[in-house]
Chain A
Amino acid sequence: MPVLKNIKAIAKGMSITFMEMFQPTQVENYPDGPGPLRGARFEERYRGMHVLQRDENGLEKCVACFLCAAACPSNCIYIEAAENTETNRVSGAERYAKVYNIDYNRCIFCGYCVEACPTDAITHGHGFELASFNASNLIYRKEQMLAAAPAHMGANAVFNSADVAGGAPALPVQGS
């Protein structure tokens, strides 16, 4: 009897619906949820906007080896290297990244750059609110991705626009 068969199928489907109605909700209430993340939840391994890490002395870990740029399948990392001097020490090794840009128009968040980095300088943070009406805003500079400096270096220099090289507008580091 096809009619009976259909009714049975509908009843089965509806029973699942009613069962789920009384389960705790799985839907994230982003962006209207509580807390700084406004309801968003992440897995630990979520690959969001990159963070350029510092070492225990607060120096930048990136040594401008260009390996991330070489690994990047969408070719969106741009680096200019420079040499550390006595008076201007930026990274722990001989050289550092004077310019480090990631073009988030093109980044596919694959994590290859993180995989390639020999000094664990580049990592994926949890920042994800990157959307913009202006594509040129999506080219992030080193200053925007750098982890906050530790307290002994004048905490969070990155929030202080006077300290940002080239007077770039200082954006708070997202996620991390």
Chain B
Amino acid sequence: MPDVTLTVDGKKLTAPAGTLLIEACKSAGIEIPSFCYYPNLSLQGACRMCLVKIEKMPKLQTACTTVVTEGMIVTSDNEEVRQARKSMVELLLGNHPLDCPVCDAGGECELQDMTFSYGAAESKYMEAKNHKDEQQWSPVVFFDRPRCILCYRCVRVCGEGMDVWALGVQNRGVSSIIAPNKEDHLECEECGMCIDICPVGALTSGAYRYKTRPWEMKHVGTICTHCGDGCKTTLGVRRSDSGMEIVRGDNRDKSGINNDFLCIKGRYAFDFAHHPDRLMQPLIRKNGKLTPANWEEAFELIGKRFAEIRDHDGMIGVVGSSRITNEEAYLLSKFARVVLKTNNVDHHRTADFPALAAALSGKPDSTATMREVYDAPAILLIGNNPTDQHPLLAWQIRNNVRLHRSRLYLINSQTIKLGRQAAGFTQIPAGTEGKVAAYLAGDDAAVEAIITEKNSRETWNALREKLRGEQKLVIIFGSEIRGNDVAVLVKFGSGVHGAKFVCLADYANSRGAADMGLYPDLLPGYHRVADTGKFHDEWTSIPATTGLTLPEMVDAAKASKLKALYVVGANPIGRLGLDPFLFSKTFVVVQEMFLTETAFMADVVLPAANAYEKSGTFTNTCGDLQILKKAGEVTGTKSDFEMIVRIADAMGFDVHKLVPFGAGERTDMGQSRGAQSGEADRHAVWLEARGLEPKMSPLEPTAILDEIQRLVPGYDFSRINLLAGNDQHTTLANSGPGAIQKPELIVPANDNLFSSGTLGRYSKALHSVMESRTQQTSEVAAD
């Protein structure tokens, strides 16, 4: 669109035609106060705070609904405007309680700010204020009606943004009130978006309620540890008896890929970190019972046993996690091969990344970022239910359709909620996603399996033609497409101009775990163990034969062949429903936060820190790499990185060969990423005790980042950008050849909005929401 020129406060501005005056002013650094206006939501014009004087217009105008025009002359601030805004504040305060000292919004309340800027704090009314008690609408949403200023932001974000439409307006005029969908309570996705967007303290969070104040917390922007989407969440932390306690999560820092969005898990499910069952001391099995022990004892025992078993050619298995950082996954992969001398490495796979890497090899620019999902002109989604499993992805798609008129093509065996945004929804028989890929790629015979009553051959033909004609199509697929089907789908994609792919995996760092080679047959970057290459040069002595997958390790344990099992942040016994006595002849070491089924039968349990308590990097399901910052801290736990290094040390391995440290010039002991106080000292003590140079600690994950950047294809990102907190895309184009994996090894986590594997089991916030659901449904059933 052509640009128009206007004058605001004597300043000449240019803005594209169609821009709202309030936005044009904002980009020129002129602040116009507003309550009801919110970028990317529909216009309301309800609060009249944004009044400005526009020449040749008889009255003051609302900047949030006025579109800029050529030659417009605007005064954003003069006596008249200030007076008008002051009276708006006065009206808003008419029935507003004097609650600031107890109100959760105090200190970050837009109404407080406006009252400070414009005055009108003194009421001219004689009448007593109309009080109404606070209501609890759901375990996490509270509503205080008198504080509401009726800006309708909550109604719009819930409806337009979330497509939940759980909030509405009752009555008209002065007696309007915000009301939940089930009379006295809410039944919704509990995302808390309404709370976040509320400019005042009318909607408040059950998790943070009356706990503390914004200025009492340290705010740390880090990456959510739940699903694979990688939202940036800002954690508010306070000192507590056991270290640093996380008091709240929100997205006050809107620089992340998630922009305004956070789902219930990113916002409230940080509380697992302070669950009373959290392990805070190493446990060693003595006389058949897990007994608290000290760290030195534990490491000594593990080091001795691991070394013994390795030296007697006993079989050792290593199970990694999809929730450890890239650095830890890389280190674990290297530790297994170099120190334990085994290729028996696996993790819980939820998507077939090796197949995608193989299919995309040599195709640059063929993976989409999470941000691109919000901009793409067309999206094809096969399988999965993002609303439940990938809430951010669903938000991106939904708002792309709403704001950019993107065309969404859905192919799914279920009717999923995103169908409401779809330009075309095609339902297929369950399990035929692979056939869809084949048909799209040109195999006409495959159509037989996907023809249904509703979708004839012609419908499919038309759909395929439409898709082929799209440009910059983003093709998103769930774990239903795996193995060879991935290559087939990629073949279809290469026929569409500018097509890009997103492969959906379920955990926060599933992609990272795959990229870092937690596979029995693949090294980091999808290089095969058997191929000689840079890893063989750098790591030296990688066993040449393919190792065991997790099910094979279980079989080996059954045959009493598995002598040791090293589990880092996983719970195979619980997840696969295995017999706990299966590993009774195996020396099992588990690094965990809680006594899971696996930890319960282990010989040594080491209390681990979670992703909110350490630094490192995560790669989301799209391949966007982001930095984690340490927020909480629980005394008596250690990061997985540190534990792996210490075990290697206890085994008598030269730590220098595992973590290249001391030579790094780009790294430090954590100062640059805001380490917790005393951390650098702790590194220094360890180094001193071992006579090592204190330039760089091997316990600091950044130490291995240089090696990852150098050796893992696609990870040649900019360190400055990473430290600045920007997301960077890693590509699969130059990866190793990958390897065909057995499709049955991929087991989707099938978490929904309110569950999140082990973390979810220990989150009170998620439990309270689920309990409120079951209670309500049983009440209905009893009627």
Contact = CB atoms under 8 A, between A and B. Distances in A.
Interface of A: 63-67, 69-70, 79-83, 93-95, 118-119
B310 interface: no
A93 B101 contact: yes
A95 B210 CA distance: 7
A63 B102 contact: yes
A102 to B, nearest CB: 16
B210 A83 contact: yes
A116 B21 CA distance: 39
Contacts, number: 37
A81 B101 CA distance: 12
Interface residues of B, number: 12
B545 interface: no
A73 to B, nearest CB: 14
A19 to B, nearest CB: 55
B106 to A, nearest CB: 7
Interface string B215-248: 1100000000000000000000000000000000
A114 to B, nearest CB: 15
A65 B213 contact: yes
A67 B102 CA distance: 11
B134 interface: yes
B216 A66 contact: yes
A70 B101 contact: no
A64 B215 contact: no
B216 A67 contact: no
22 contacts: A63-B101, A64-B102, A64-B210, A65-B100, A65-B101, A65-B106, A67-B101, A69-B213, A70-B216, A79-B216, A80-B212, A81-B210, A81-B211, A82-B210, A83-B209, A83-B210, A93-B101, A94-B134, A95-B102, A95-B210, A118-B100, A119-B101
Contacts of B134: 94
Contacts of B101: 63, 65, 67, 93, 118-119
A70 B217 CA distance: 11
A26 B37 CA distance: 67
Contacts of A81: 210-212
Nearest to B214: A66
Interface string B93-137: 000000011100010000000000000000000000000001000
A70 B106 contact: no
A12 to B, nearest CB: 59
Nearest to A93: B102
A66 B212 contact: yes
A36 to B, nearest CB: 35
A74 to B, nearest CB: 16
Given A65-B213, A69-B216, 18 more contacts: A63-B101, A64-B102, A64-B210, A66-B212, A66-B216, A69-B213, A70-B213, A70-B215, A81-B210, A81-B211, A81-B212, A82-B210, A83-B209, A93-B101, A93-B102, A94-B134, A95-B210, A118-B101
SS of B interface (majority): loop
B210 A65 contact: no
Contacts of A66: 212-213, 215-216
Across the A-B interface, the 9 shortest Cβ-Cβ residue pairs: A65-B101, A66-B213, A95-B210, A118-B101, A93-B102, A83-B210, A63-B102, A94-B102, A63-B101
Interface in B180-216: 209-213, 215-216
Interface-centre pick from A66, A82, A83 (highest chain B CB count, 10 A): A66
Contacts of A69: 213, 216
Nearest to B134: A94
Nearest to A119: B101
Contacts of A93: 101-102
A121 to B, nearest CB: 9
A95 B103 CA distance: 9
A82 B106 CA distance: 16
Contacts of B212: 66, 80-81
Interface-centre pick from B101, B106, B211 (highest chain A CB count, 10 A): B101
Nearest to A69: B216
Interface-centre pick from A63, A79, A94, A118 (highest chain B CB count, 10 A): A94
A119 B102 CA distance: 11
A106 B484 CA distance: 69
Interface-centre pick from A63, A65, A119 (highest chain B CB count, 10 A): A65
A70 B102 CA distance: 15
A80 B213 CA distance: 10
Contact of B210 (A70, A94, A119): A94
Contacts of A67: 101
Contacts of A80: 212
A64 B100 CA distance: 11
A65 B215 CA distance: 11
A80 B216 CA distance: 10
Contacts of B209: 83
Contacts of B211: 81
Nearest to B101: A65
A79 B210 CA distance: 12
Nearest to A84: B210
Contacts of B106: 65
B237 to A, nearest CB: 14
A152 B422 CA distance: 68
A65 B216 contact: no
Contacts of A94: 102, 134, 210
A129 B351 CA distance: 69
A63 B213 CA distance: 12
Interface-centre pick from B102, B210, B213, B215 (highest chain A CB count, 10 A): B102
A67 B213 CA distance: 9
B246 to A, nearest CB: 15
A69 B212 CA distance: 11
Nearest to B216: A66
A81 B211 CA distance: 5
Contacts of B213: 65-66, 69-70
A69 B216 CA distance: 8
A63 B100 CA distance: 10
A47 B102 CA distance: 27
A65 B102 CA distance: 6
Interface in B4-18: none
Contacts of B102: 63-65, 93-95
Nearest to A95: B210
A56 to B, nearest CB: 18
A54 B212 CA distance: 22
Contacts of A82: 210
